[in-house]
């Protein structure tokens, strides 16, 4: 008897379903243009598709605009959070609800040109399981933002336990296998692009030129970016914890050398080094500072453990349309 044909995840690419996930927080003036450009691109490169908007507790007319788009276009589905949970929970919710054989993440502000999705789909059909868009240039961003982000990506890459590609945001296509792998990680805080890198599979960069924001302003101020960087580091590296031990060992070494010098000087010449109060005060302040700093590093990790023991849901959906199943 003939064995049954092997079940493959993607039987034919022609009828593959492609999901596009758009996290949106106060993006009322971007969504209509985004939808028009997305729909045009997808009609050509993936006739079977769904567009999933995730309203992340917006306070402007974002949800209203999304409702209108969904009423007019049956390919549009949406989730609306009960409050602002953040960019990473929003992309996660989109991935949880997407049914596609491939899932694309794209920002709502048109900084990522939707037309690139056609090339991503091509690469996917050629065998790539993750196609991540890597910025060749980025328009409309301040020198400070470009500089801090360059430093961040390089620092993260050098201390992270997985190779997280540089100059790469969330704009990417993922095969269903990768989506399932990332969905199994329910950690909080979560750094989605780090998780995708962690998952492995066949990953390929796709170079592109990033546009300026179409309308509105960035939702990431310096403080939020700093927080995101801390979360990325604590999620993907234990090195800062090891630094505490190395620094401690170095300081103990220096103290020991000082002691030795003192003893030698005392025996040889009857004097001691650093006898004055100033030296002592400096040494004390320095050591106290160092200890607080290292306590801070440990607190970052402790905080992460704390959040994960609480095990709260990553997001809460208040309203949704287009999905058969209720929100998980
Ligand atoms: N975003 C979100 N929730 C937030 C902050 C941002 O869903 O709390 C969305 C935002 O609407 C956009 C994407 O995440 O679609 C990226 O945000 P933004 O463009 O402000 O970041 P930048 O490109 O400036 O780094
Ligand atoms: Mg942006």
**Closest residue to atom 13 of ligand 1, CA basis:** 107
Q: Are 234 and 304 in contact (CB under 8 A)?
A: yes
> For residue 219, how far is its CA from the centre of ligand 2 (angstroms)?
8
27 CB within 6 A, ligand 1 = yes
Ligand 1 in contact with 89 (CB < 6 A)? no
- In short, whether 109's Cβ falls inside 6 Å of ligand 1 is yes
Q: Is 170 in the pocket of ligand 1 (CB under 6 A)?
A: no
Q: What is the mean pLDDT of residues 180-203?
A: 91
Does ligand 1 come within 6 angstroms of the Cβ of 218? Answer: yes
Beta bridge partners of 205: 132
In percent, how much of the chain has pLDDT > 90? 45
284, pLDDT greater than 90: no
250: left (phi over 0), alpha (psi -120 to 50) or beta: alpha
Ligand 1 centroid to Cα of residue 107, in Å, is 7
The pLDDT tens digits for 290-323 are 888 888 888 888 888 888 888 889 999 999 999 9
Instruction: Give the closest ligand to the alpha carbon of residue 31.
Output: 1
Ligand 1 contacts CB of residue 107 (under 6 A): yes
Q: Where are the alpha helices (DSSP H) in the chain?
A: 31-45, 62-72, 87-97, 117-125, 143-159, 176-183, 192-199, 222-236, 239-269, 277-310
Percent of the chain with pLDDT over 70: 93
25 alpha carbon – ligand 1 mean position (Å): 6
CATH architecture of 13-237+312-321: Alpha-Beta Complex (3.90)
Higher-confidence residue: 65 or 1? 65
Give the span between the Cα atoms of 266 and 255, in whole angstroms.
16
Whole-structure pTM value: 0.80
pLDDT band at 327 (very low <50, low <70, confident <90, very high): very low
Distance 295 CA to ligand 2 centre (A): 34
Judged by DSSP in three states, 104 sits in strand
Does ligand 1 have an atom closer than 6 angstroms to the CB of 66?
Answer: no
Q: In this predicted structure, what is the pLDDT of residue 328?
A: 47
- Residue whose tokens read 């045009």: 40
**pLDDT by residue (tens digit) across 97-123?**
999 999 999 999 999 999 999 999 999
Using an 8 Å Cβ cutoff, are 317 and 328 in contact? Answer: no
Q: Which residue has the higher pLDDT, 129 or 280?
A: 129
Ligand 1 mean position to 3 CA, how many Å?
A: 50
Whose alpha carbon is nearest atom 25 of ligand 1? 220
If you take atom 19 of ligand 1, which residue's CA is the nearest one? 218
Q: How far apart are CA 285 and CA 294, in angstroms?
A: 14
- Ligand closest to the CA atom of residue 141: 1
- Residue 40, both tokens: 């045009």
Check pocket membership of 23 for ligand 1, CB cut-off 6 A. Answer: yes
Distance 54 CA to ligand 1 centre (A): 11
Question: Region 162-180: what's the mean pLDDT?
Answer: 91
Does residue 25 line the site of ligand 1, with CB under 6 A? yes
Going from N- to C-terminal start, the domains of the chain cover 13-237+312-321, 239-310
Best residue among 87, 112, 139 to mutate for probing ligand 1's pocket (most ligand atoms within 8 Å of CB) is: 87
Please give the average per-residue pLDDT across 30-45, as a whole number.
94
């Amino acid at each position: 008897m003939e064995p049954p044909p092997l079940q493959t995840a993607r039987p034919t690419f022609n009828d593959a379903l492609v999901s596009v996930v758009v996290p949106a927080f106060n993006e009322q003036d971007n969504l209509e243009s985004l939808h028009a450009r997305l729909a045009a691109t997808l009609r050509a490169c993936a006739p079977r598709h769904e567009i999933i908007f995730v309203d992340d507790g917006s306070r402007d007319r974002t949800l209203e605009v999304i409702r209108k788009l969904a009423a007019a276009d049956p390919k549009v589905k949406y989730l609306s959070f009960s409050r602002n949970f953040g960019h990473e929970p929003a992309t996660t919710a989109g991935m949880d609800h997407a049914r596609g054989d491939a899932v694309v993440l794209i920002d709502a502000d048109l900084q990522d040109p939707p037309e690139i999705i056609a090339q991503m789909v091509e690469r996917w059909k050629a065998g790539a399981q993750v196609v991540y868009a890597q910025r060749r240039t980025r328009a409309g961003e301040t020198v400070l933002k470009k500089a801090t982000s360059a430093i961040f990506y390089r620092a993260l890459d050098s201390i992270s336990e997985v190779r997280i590609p540089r100059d790469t945001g969330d704009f990417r296509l993922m095969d269903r296998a990768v989506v399932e792998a990332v969905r199994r990680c329910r950690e909080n805080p979560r750094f989605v692009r780090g998780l995708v890198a962690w998952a492995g599979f066949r990953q390929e960069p796709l170079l592109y030129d990033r546009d300026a924001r179409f309308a509105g302003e960035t939702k990431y101020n310096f403080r939020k970016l700093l927080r995101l960087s801390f979360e990325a580091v604590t999620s993907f590296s234990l090195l800062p914890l090891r630094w505490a031990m190395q620094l401690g060992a170095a300081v103990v070494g220096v103290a020991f050398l000082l002691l030795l010098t003192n003893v030698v000087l005392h025996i040889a010449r009857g004097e001691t080094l650093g006898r004055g109060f100033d030296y002592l005060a400096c040494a004390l302040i320095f050591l106290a500072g160092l200890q607080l700093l290292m306590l801070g590093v440990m607190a970052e990790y402790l905080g992460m453990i704390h959040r994960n023991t609480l095990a709260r849901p990553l997001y809460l959906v208040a309203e949704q349309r287009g999905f058969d199943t209720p929100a998980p």
